[in-house]
Amino acid sequence: MVLLAEYSVCVNRKSYMAAFVISILLSYVEFLNIPVFWPLLVMYFVMVVIVTFKTKISHMIRYNYLPIDIGKRTYNKGGAKNKA
């Protein structure tokens, strides 16, 4: 997908705006107010986060980017040894 500003996506894609407006209007209908067991939502959120991070971290490792780097790497100027 080409990177576009949010406004241009909303203006050019009328169906997205229509779906948004319809979802807002339907949220006020009492008939559609279905109770949801909140621990299931929390477990689903945790599962999505774990899968996403696993994919991103494996991609970073594949392209030799260290996702976690403990400590700062120091380099010697001109090949001289550090004197502490």
Global pTM value? 0.48
pLDDT value, residue 47: 95
Of 31 and 17, the structure prediction assigns the larger pLDDT to 31
pLDDT at 71 over 80: no
Span 9-24, pLDDT tens digits:
666 667 778 888 998 9
Token code pair at residue 38: 């909140």
Please name the residues in contact with 12: beta carbons below 8 A apart, sequence gap of 6 or more.
Answer: 4
